Amino acid sequence: MHSFFRGMRAAFVFLTRVPVGGFPYSRTDWHWSTAHFPLVGLVLGGVLGGAFLLLHPLGPLASAALTLGLSLLLTGAFHEDGLADTSDALGGAYDRENVFRILKDSRVGSFGAIALCFSFVTRAALIGKLPPSLETIVAIAFVGSIARAVPLWQMVRAPYATQHGSKSRDVARAEPLQAVVGSVYPLLLVGSLSAFGTISWLRLLAAGLSSVVVGALTEWRYRKRAGGLTGDFLGTTEQLCEIAVLAALVWGR
């Protein structure tokens, strides 16, 4: 039980630049951190939702762009880096060997740059469609949480395609129990959103289904091109899930 709660703190260490301290963490602490990745998304989303409301007098698009800029500072562009590397690797390589060669290259190529622009602009445009209300804080928290829950299930289902470094070897796998725990966080927010009465159950169902579809399609692609997962692939799933869920929440607004 001690490692369960220590894992919460370790999750923030792994996914963000927030100085929560707590070192050293044991291997069990790191292993349990995966269960709390959606909690990190929930907290970050709540902070970002609050920032969006405070900045909204600047205009919807400007406030959304600045909110995403804050998210990059808080996470160190952790998931965006994965999206760029994955886009370069899967877009520029024709065989498995070159996929991994490009993944290890620290430079950003054309595919990566385009993917980053697409992700940032699309998310900013979608966030800008959300109303300046308390509901939006919960909605953005939900997006951040469910987008980090889907990769957990990929970690349960799919093999890893690479060997892991010292930092990631103990968070490389998620067991079903950890994925279930992680899924509780966005489910709690579903209840909160429905309580507001302004986001219908149909829209929330569409958001959930869209994340499942993104998770299934990306996992299939990772298996086909690389034989399994990498950390960069998981970051890509997170980014695509954010876009899909945001689109479902603002559809028709």
Query: Domain count of the chain?
Result: 1
Range of the domain at 78: 2-250
Q: What is the pLDDT, as a whole number, of residue 163? A: 63
Write down the pTM of the prediction. 0.94
- In SS3 terms, 110-125 reads as HHHHHHHHHHHHHHHH
Q: In 3-state terms, the chain is what percent helix, strand and coil (to 5)?
A: 80, 0, 20
CA 138 to chain centre: 16
Chunked in runs of 10, what are the mean pLDDT values of the chain (253 residues)? 88 95 88 96 97 97 98 98 97 93 93 98 97 92 97 94 61 87 94 76 91 98 96 97 97 75
